[in-house]
Amino acid sequence: MTQFLLQRSMLPVRDMAEPTLYVREKGGVTRGDESAALVAGAELSFDTSFGVFHAGRWRRLTSVGSVVARVVATGSGRVEVVSVHRGRERVVASAVLGAHSIDLAVGSLRDTQFGMLYVRIVATGACEVHRVEWRTDSPATHDVRLSLSITTFNRQAYVIPTVKKVLALVRSLPDLNGRVRVLVVDNANNVDFDEPPCDDLNVVPNRNLGGAGGFARGLMWLRQQRWATHVLFMDDDISLETEALVRTVALFAYARDPQLCIHGAMLSEERQWMQFEAGSKYLWRSLYPLRALGQEDDLRDRSLVLRDAKEKRFAYSAWWYTAFPIGITKDNPLPVFVRGDDVAFGLMHTGRHTVTLNGIAVWHADFHLKNNPSSLFYEMRNFATIDTLVFDRHRWWHLGQRFLALSFRNLFGFRYASAEYMIRGMRAYLAGPQALAEVDHTALHDELRRVTEEKPAPLSPEHAAVTMSTPLPKPVRLIGFVLSLPLVGGFLLPRSVRSRELRTAPIDSRAVGLALRHEQILYRHDRLPEGFVCARDGARFRALWRDVFGVLAELARNYGRLKREYRTAYPALVSDEAWQRRFDGVSAVPKR
């Protein structure tokens, strides 16, 4: 009987920093690269984040019926398939290892209440283990041809190894061969994969129009080729767990919802066990609308791994790993550059259809090191545009309240450059959709990123030697925050009361209470020797406050008109014709 691959539970490579994401070990286990040798009494179990088979989710989301666990291992030992349901574990299948791989029939997902399934191997003598394959004899309900679309700009150190790993997997695995291709949109026009001409890799040159421009170019090119049924948007600066592709293709092949979209969780590159985000909500009335799901989850935690968590409702999924049917919309991404393009696309098209699955994940560097004042320009302009387009009940005071509150935090925390760039972002939004359509994104971005203030950088020896300040108790910080407004951020305090001692604050904070009686603050990363110093500046503070209230007055006068204009202009902003003009005549014919 023909079997179809759903998932592989792999062993980690030898130098993996967090092997318990893949497997748990007891006794004499010697790991190689994606293999392990066991002596008598040793044990391997795949009750891990990347190793478990999430039977509950496969049952709810797909048409998969019967499931078989194929254990690719040889030697002397006992193999068990363990079911976990509401915290109770029981063995549902077992067999004795021998000279060949063995199949253990688990049963039908339709007729059972399995939440999680995992394989445990107990050695009674020497044995060698390679992987577990979860398979089904249920025929696929959809023909899936998945094309990755990776936008890159001078990230060769990341993107070349990622593409090489993907191609190696696809070319070696019959279940993916002919069903997965890679498209790279090269915004810097300088990437070379040293690959002969082939169907499974194409590179398209492009102007540097940010992620939105690269993904728009990729999406338009794939539509024209008419090969892909599904697209995977993926960043160029991530480390990919390539097994994610196996699970993504299988989920699409068996999906009950033909519009199913899949989001890969982002894990921390610095702390590989920590989840940064597994999807996000978007609370448009909130000061900070992006609300990550699963943030700071420890994926080594066995109790978390074995919980049959129901699927959570998404607002959007980020483009470090977002896969969707190519026909879900005819729209291209909104031309907003750098921040928020994925938010808009998710809110409008993919978010409500999106799910996650264990093992579909990437690792990414800490976002705090990427944030700087130019990021705030994009966040202010782009999220204002998104809220205007998406939410009918959004009014000027919702946006005004967010702008005023964030301005307060930046100005009272000495982060004057951040406030300046937020003001620029609001003015760009107030310029209307015609200005957005006509802006030269490449030139604008080149100008914005020349900012030198408030950008994380290696600390001087003097500043690196400053120890992290012990955070004040929350009530004390709250008192300082409340007093900041009547004391105008400490400017009304006598100089004799202010301290010249250099205090530290987290790099992603706005230390309003701390700044009340200090003259300068060292904002620094909590784990890395990077950061920057901000100092009190009365003249700059007053000038920026005047700008803030001037922008608020303009917003109140013009928001109704702007909302109508943005919504009317939206179809043209995301059209093929508009994007082709932005590409400025760069050939859409790929180079090999």
d(CA 413, CA 425): 19
Residue 587 is predicted with a pLDDT of 40
- H-run or E-run covering 558: helix 538-573
- State pLDDT tens for residues 532-572: 999 999 999 999 999 999 999 999 999 999 999 999 999 99
Torsion of CA 401, 402, 406, 411, to 10 degrees: -30
- Cα separation of 416 and 535, whole Å? 9
Question: What whole-number distance in Å separates Cα of residue 153 and Cα of residue 142?
Answer: 34
Widest Cα–Cα separation across the chain: 85
Q: How far is CA 311 from CA 155, 255, 339, 354, 357, in A?
A: 34, 14, 26, 9, 9
Q: CA 405, CA 510: separation in Å to the nearest integer?
A: 11
- Report CA 512 to chain centroid distance, whole Å: 29
Q: Which residue shows structure tokens 């922008």?
A: 551
Look at residue 586 in the predicted model and tell me its pLDDT: 45
DSSP letter assigned to residue 121: E
Q: Can you tell me the mean pLDDT for 79-93?
A: 95
| CA–CA separation, 134 and 122 (whole Å) | 19
Percent of the chain with pLDDT over 70: 97
| Residue from 243, 304, 295, 290 nearest 274 by CA | 295
- Statement: residue 592 has pLDDT above 60: no
- What is the reported pTM? 0.91
Q: Rounded to an integer, what distance in angstroms lies between the CA atom of residue 319 and that of residue 296?
A: 19
Say yes or no to pLDDT of 5 above 70.
Answer: yes
Distance (Å, whole) CA 247 – CA 250: 5
With 80 as the cut, is the pLDDT of residue 395 above it?
Answer: yes
Over range 516-531, report the average pLDDT.
87
Closest CA relative to residue 410, chosen from 514, 542, 509: 509
Q: pLDDT tens-digit profile of 107-142?
A: 999 988 899 999 999 999 999 999 999 999 999 999
Strand ranges (E), 1-65: 4-10, 24-26, 29-31, 36-38, 43-45
* 499-523: average pLDDT: 87
Residues 6+ apart with CB under 8 A from 218: 149, 150, 151, 183, 185, 204, 231, 233
Q: Is 380 helix (H, G, I), strand (E, B) or coil?
A: helix
The continuous run of DSSP H or E covering 482 comes out as helix 474-484
Q: Is 115 helix (H, G, I), strand (E, B) or coil?
A: coil
- Which two structure tokens, joined as six digits, stand for 343? 């938010």
Q: What is the pLDDT of residue 250?
A: 98
Neighbour count for residue 190 (Cβ, 10 Å): 11
Domains of the chain with CATH codes: 4-136 (2.60.120.200), 146-365 (3.90.550.60), 374-540 (no CATH)
Q: Residue 24 pLDDT > 60, yes or no?
A: yes
587: number of Cβ within 10 Å? 10
Residue 1: which pLDDT band, with cuts at 50, 70 and 90?
low
Does residue 371 surpass a pLDDT of 80? no
% the chain with pLDDT above 90: 77
Query: What's residue 589's pLDDT?
Result: 45
pLDDT tens digits, one per residue of 140-194? 999 999 999 999 999 999 999 999 999 999 999 999 999 999 999 999 999 999 9
Among 203, 196, 159, which Cα is nearest to 181's? 203
Which residues are within 8 A (CB) of 310 and not within 5 positions of it... i.e. 6 or more apart? Answer: 60
pLDDT digits (tens, 9 = 90+) for 397-416: 999 999 999 999 999 999 99
Question: Using alpha carbons only, what angle is made at residue 393 by residues 392 and 398, rounded to the nearest 5 degrees?
Answer: 125
Range with the largest mean pLDDT of 269-278, 455-464, 485-494: 269-278
Euclidean distance between CA atoms 128 and 66, whole angstroms: 27
pLDDT single digits (tens) 233-257:
999 999 999 999 999 999 999 999 9
pLDDT tops 80 at residue 423: yes
Q: Looking at residue 491, what is its pLDDT?
A: 83
Backbone angles phi, psi at 489, to 5 degrees: 65, 20
